[in-house]
Structure 1
Amino acid sequence: MLSNLKKRNIIILIDDYIPYSSKIAAKMMHELAYELVKRENQVTVVTPYNNLKKYCVIEYIDNIEIVRFKLGKIKNCSFIKRTINESLMPFKAWFYTKKYLENKKYNLIISYSPSIFWGLFTIKIKNKFQCSVYLILRDFFPQWIIDIGIIKDNTFIAKYFRFIEKINYKSADIIGIQSPRNIDYFKQIFGEQYNTKLLFNWINPKIETKDINFKKNNGLDEKVLFFYGGNIGKAQDTKKLVKLSQRLQHKSTAHFVFLGQGDEFFIIKKLVKRNKINNITILPKVSQKKFNAILKEVDIGMFSLNKNHKSHNFPGKILGYMVNSIPILGIVNPNNDLKDIIEEYNAGFVSINGEDDILYKNALTLLKNKLLRKQLGINSNRLLHKKFTVYSAIDEILNNQG
């Protein structure tokens, strides 16, 4: 096995990237690329963007080479439109970038899924460069959209997605999966035909931000801030957290902030308005710098997962909470090992989706006890440094390359 100090030429594939995205995946992969460059590797990120005037544009961010190719919208658009454009993605990636990439030489491909549609492009460049592929697998698509009822199993579209999914897996030499139980779940479906490794989510533990006086500017100085930041969709079931805020309206010190984007963003806004819930602020997505600045003033960091998930997702948003020593209040699907990890390190309270009274009790406990919030926040930061740093992720990826 080669040392991870060996200098490599690395190509990263991701369907969403900074500065045009504020999503966790884009942030995680930029931090990964940046740390790889700091270790004297050459890194090229290949990513689509819908608002390009040319078919292919080259730019540089933090000494990372970004190759953007033109593709129709695949985020915040209809399911049909997204499916069509993602299906075209591997073909457009090849035709629009091949002139630029043909004179390059790469030792390693790091592909991020979702999207599952990189597989054909990955195979093409893998064969061209005769290099290995590390697939970072963060959710099991299409299984999760079947689990929560967006599509039905054994339909044409489900079979199509599964066909594409298998191509993506077959393109990889190693598949990095985000939790032990997710590895077990993956093997229940696919057996031992793929080489899987444990790869936790990650974040740079050293984030510098400026004060923006978020609480003061929003009249929340005296409030205990319950914060949810990230995707707002069916997979998250954020309605459960809205219902929690409704139950806590009688507590004048409690205030909830929901910040993000997603399929149910406007549904949540309508729900709050219809029920006249007065302790919630709902904000659209902001820049990553502003997001990090807001986190500095958060008292309790929240996350939620749909109860029908069969896999064990690890929401990337909690990494931001951990960096800022914020105690965690979460809702998970049954048997999700994230609950065990957070409770083992005493970093917060996690309940099963549907245990509404336990969630309410946990929220009350955090609301009332400032010293407890402080201690749980310290513990959450310790958990981050133990398992979830970008340094650990890079060591895991590079140490598994032959």
Structure 2
Amino acid sequence: MKILFLSISYIKTIEEKGIYTDLIRQFRDGGHQVYVVNPIEKRLNKPTQYVIENGVHFLRVRIGNITQNNLIEKGLSTLIIERQFLNAIKHHYREVVFDLIINSTPPITFEKVIRFVKKRDNAKSYLLLKDIFPQNAVDLNMFRKNGLIYKYFRMKEKRLYQISDYIGCMSQANVDYIKKHNPRISANKIEICPNSIDILSINNNDDSVKQIREKYNIPSDKTIFIYGGNLGKPQGIDFLIECLKGNNYIHQAFFVIAGAGTEFNKLKHYFDAEKPTNARLLEELPKDEYELLANSCDVGLIFLDHRFTIPNFPSRLLSYMQSSMPVLAATDVHTDIGQVIEQGKFGLWCESNNVEQFNKKINQFVDSTLRESMGKNAKTYLEQNYSSKHSYEIIMNHFK
């Protein structure tokens, strides 16, 4: 089949590791022709470009800035992405007839692009639902429910669900939420198609762990908890700071925070003012360097703001599992990530507004026997449930 893959994730190379690139390679290696449309943000100072890389066609469309900027610029840039992608496809892919369109959220504003290609090529479409917008923004008080902004994006969301032939959700809670809040959408086209990756064998030796810890001034005699990734409003950074403050008395625990986002400066202000002795804050690292750092730590952390009413399921979980690390998730009560972690026996969960419960979980992980057992379970659960081959087969099952 000829497959059109739409995403707002910037993909430097098809060989990099990630939930989208790993899935794209599955389609490529399965004998399909894959055409990717993804953005180049204005701040990178590059024009729209079309290249063929390792068997995959890339159309990188110059757009406005949607990351590392303020909400107004991000919002305006997001509004015009649909038109920019549509114009680029009409120009560069005008003679390509697609069989399948795969797109992910965010954004929910690709409905016209999908409608055009479906009508022109008689193609099917598969939506990878990674973000439930605009309700997530309402949960965080970014704008008012039933206001004009909400109504506009809710209309776009409904149209996207309606035009999609299949909707792949990250977990059962996501499936249940979409069915409940979108009763006009056929339940038969909604299924679980989870975040997934190519599973690698990671061998850590004592020398490499010692070396990377020394490089970042991380103690060798403590249990190291790491959070890596986006540091924005969805992560509930205020709660994270309260957890750091509340763990000063747990002398066997040390926290490493590495990432970037709109709330990074809030964290930096705390570190500069309080100079905590139980934690280290690092700016976003290159992917390979971050993986080395993460593999030298003991427990992976996941944070979600407790105000969420939509069931997020962060993909950060997968990198922890691949490193055979147990997971501590502090989240709202609507996501089922905590249930998955605890039922799979590879981690612990608490609500992200209870510092006392968080501290109790931290104390449990000081036990190296518990960490080792849960770490092994994490890798096993990953292999059985979250491989990119598994996601590929879920999608292709509709086209056999």
Q: TM-score, normalised by structure 2?
A: 0.92
Counterpart code for 1:16: S
Question: 2:226–2:257: 8 Å Cα contact kept in structure 1?
Answer: yes
Q: Is 1:146 the equivalent of 2:130?
A: no
Matches within 5 A, 1:109-120: 109-120=101-112
Which residue pairs with 2:12 in the alignment? 19
Which residue pairs with 1:193 in the alignment? 185
Distance 1:120 1:201 in 2: 25
Distance 1:385 1:209 in 2: 16
Q: Per-residue deviation at 1:200?
A: 1.3
Change in Cα spacing, 1:208 to 1:362, as seen in structure 2 (3 Å) is closer
Q: Per-residue deviation at 1:192?
A: 4.5
Counterpart code for 1:36: F
SS in 2 for 1:116: coil
Residue among 195, 202, 205 paired with 2:199:
205
Name stretches of at least 5 consecutive residues in structure 1 with no aligned partner: 1-7
- Alignment deviations for residues 129-188 of structure 1 (CA, whole Å, 9 cap, x no partner): 211000001121000110121111111111111122222222311111111122111112
Which residue pairs with 1:37 in the alignment? 28
Counterpart code for 2:394: E
Distance 1:73 1:282 in 2: 26
Q: Per-residue deviation at 1:283?
A: 1.5
Q: Per-residue deviation at 1:319?
A: 0.4
Q: Is 1:184 the equivalent of 2:194?
A: no
Change in Cα spacing, 1:379 to 1:142, as seen in structure 2 (3 Å) is same
SS in 1 for 2:102: strand
RMSD: 2.1
Question: 2:4–2:34: 8 Å Cα contact kept in structure 1?
Answer: yes
SS in 1 for 2:281: strand
Change in Cα spacing, 1:54 to 1:130, as seen in structure 2 (3 Å) is farther
SS in 1 for 2:357: helix
Name stretches of at least 5 consecutive residues in structure 2 with no aligned partner: none
Matches within 5 A, 1:210-225: 211=208, 213-220=211-218, 221-225=220-224
Which residue pairs with 1:46 in the alignment? 37
Distance 2:197 2:388 in 1: 5
Residue among 2, 12, 36 paired with 1:9:
2
Matches within 5 A, 1:235-250: 235-250=234-249
Q: Per-residue deviation at 1:209?
A: 8.5
- Alignment deviations for residues 74-94 of structure 1 (CA, whole Å, 9 cap, x no partner): 112222211211111111112
Counterpart code for 1:179: S
Change in Cα spacing, 1:171 to 1:207, as seen in structure 2 (3 Å) is farther
Question: 1:209–1:289: 8 Å Cα contact kept in structure 2?
Answer: no
Q: Per-residue deviation at 1:189?
A: 1.1
Q: Per-residue deviation at 1:11?
A: 1.1
Distance 2:53 2:255 in 1: 34
My pick for the range that moved more, 188-197 or 222-231, is 188-197
Counterpart code for 1:17: Y
Counterpart code for 1:34: R
Residue among 381, 384, 394 paired with 1:383:
381
Aligned length: 391
Question: 1:55–1:96: 8 Å Cα contact kept in structure 2?
Answer: no
Change in Cα spacing, 1:64 to 1:290, as seen in structure 2 (3 Å) is farther
Q: Is 1:353 the equivalent of 2:352?
A: yes
Distance 1:272 1:92 in 2: 41
Question: 1:34–1:62: 8 Å Cα contact kept in structure 2?
Answer: no
SS in 1 for 2:399: coil
Question: 2:271–2:281: 8 Å Cα contact kept in structure 1?
Answer: no
My pick for the range that moved more, 325-334 or 236-245, is 236-245
Distance 2:139 2:130 in 1: 16
Distance 2:393 2:299 in 1: 31
Q: Per-residue deviation at 1:274?
A: 2.7
Distance 1:358 1:50 in 2: 41
- Alignment deviations for residues 63-118 of structure 1 (CA, whole Å, 9 cap, x no partner): 32211011111112222211211111111112233222011121111001111111
Which residue pairs with 1:260 in the alignment? 259
Distance 1:260 1:85 in 2: 23
Q: Is 1:340 the equivalent of 2:346?
A: no
Which residue pairs with 1:275 in the alignment? 274
SS in 1 for 2:280: strand
